[in-house]
Structure 1
Amino acid sequence: MFYSFCGFLLEVAFARLTHSPKPDRKCHLLLPVCPVYGVGALGILLLPGWVKGSPLLLFLGGALVCTAAEWGLSWFYEKAAGVAFWNYRRLPWNLGGRVCLLFSGFWGLLSLPLVYAVQPWLEAWAAGVPAAVTIPAALFYLGDAATSLLLLRRGGTGALRWYARPRGRKGRAAS
C-alpha cells in the first residue's frame, strides 16, 4: 500500500510538471493509490539477493520486473475493466502502448533507492505498526480495489472522480 501511495504522489507530480490534461492519477475510488507501483515494488523486493546486491543487476532486474508488472496490469485493466490508465503509443520503442523503453529505464533507476534506502527504512517503521491495524487496512484496500473495478467496468476512469465538482456551461461550477 505504501508503494502504491508513493506511485500516486509520483504520478501527480509528473502530471503537474508535464501540464497533463489529466492531473489526477489515482486508480481506486477512495484511496490515492496507483497499484502498478506497489506490484512493481513487490517484484523488485522479490528479486534474489545476488541481483539486489549489484547496482547494475538491480537496475536491469528492476527495469525488467517493473516493465512486466506495467504490461501485466495494463492488460488486466483493459480486459477486466475496459480502461487504460496510461498509453505510451506516442513514445518511441513502445510495446502496444503498454510499456516503453524510456519508462523501463525510469523503473530501473527507481529500483536503486527503493532497495538501498526506502525499504530498509520502511521495514523498521512497519515493525512498529500494530498487527491489529494490518488486517483491517488490507481489507479496506481490497474492498476499495473491488469497488473500483466494478465502477471502472461501468463508467470508465471518470467513475473514480467522485470528488470532482460537476461543471456547468462556460466552465463554472454548477449550483
Structure 2
Amino acid sequence: MGMTIYHRIICFFLFSFLGYLLECVVLSYENKRPVINRGFGHGPFCIIYGFGAMGAMILLKPLSDNLILLYIATTLMATTMELITARMMIKLFGSFWWDYSRKPFNYKGIICLESSVAWGFLGIFYFRFLDGFVSQMAGVVPEGLERMVALSLLAFYIADFIYTMRLQLKSSCDEDDATMIGRLKVY
C-alpha cells in the first residue's frame, strides 16, 4: 500500500520534531545547560530535518544498500543543505541559528567537518532504522484522521512561520544599519 500525501506530511513533521529533539540534546550537552528553542519558529520543529529526510528518501534511496556511497552522498547533501539554509537566513535576517566558528575545519561558522561527518552517520541511521520507525509512528494515526492531523500540522507551522518571519524581519529592520555591518547574530 502506498503512502498518502497526508502520511508523508505527518512523517515530515515527525522528522522535523526528531531533528528539533536532536538539536536540543546535542546543544544542551555542548553548552552544559538546557537548550530548548532550536527551531525557526516557536513550535518544536526544525524543518530542515523534515526536508532532509524527504530529500534523502527521494534522492538517496538508490544508494541505501551501499553504505560507503550512502555515507558520502548523505554527508554532501546535508552539508549543502546547511550551507544553503544559512545563506538564505543571512540574506533574510542577517543571521543564522547555529555557530560552528569554534569547531575545527569550519567555514565561516556555517559548516564544519565534525557536523559533516555526523550527517553521514545520521544518513545511514536514517535508512537502516529511522525511516521505518517514523513511518510506523505516522501509521499510528487512524486513516480517517490522517488528513485532519496533517492539515492541522501544516496550518500550525504556516501560522508559526509567518508570525516568526514577521518578528524576525521587524527585528532586522529595527536595528540600526551601522551596528549590523560586520556583525552576525547567531541564535
- TM bin, normalised by shorter chain, reads 0.7 to 0.9
Equivalent residue for 2:183? none
1:148 shift after superposition: 1.3
Partners of 1:44 and 1:66 within 8 A in 2 = no
The match for 1:146 is 162
Q: 1:96 aligns with which of 108, 116, 119?
A: 108
Residue identity in the other structure for 2:70 = L
After TM superposition, what 4+ stretches of structure 1 lie above 4 angstroms from structure 2?
none
**Aligned to 1:18, what secondary structure does the other structure show?**
helix
- How far is the alpha carbon of 1:31 from its aligned partner? 0.6
TM-score of the superposed pair, with normalisation by structure 2: 0.74
The two structures have a TM-score, normalised by structure 1, of 0.78
Show the counterpart of 1:170: none
Q: Which has the higher contact order (CA 8 A, sep 6+)?
A: 2
Give aligned-pair identity as a percent: 26
For these two proteins, the number of residue pairs brought into alignment is 156
State the distance in 1 between where 2:62 and 2:50 align.
22
- Whose helix proportion is higher, 1 or 2? 2
What corresponds to 1:16 in structure 2? 28
Moved more, 58-67 or 122-131: 122-131
Unaligned runs of at least 5 residues, structure 1: 157-175
* Distance (Å, rounded) in 1 between the aligned partners of 2:130 and 2:118: 16
Q: What is the root-mean-square deviation of aligned Cα atoms in Å?
A: 2.1
Identify the residue that residue 40 of structure 2 maps to in structure 1.
28
Q: Deviations over 1:119-172 (max 9, x none)?
A: 11222332443222212211211221121122122237xxxxxxxxxxxxxxxx
Show the counterpart of 1:137. Answer: 153
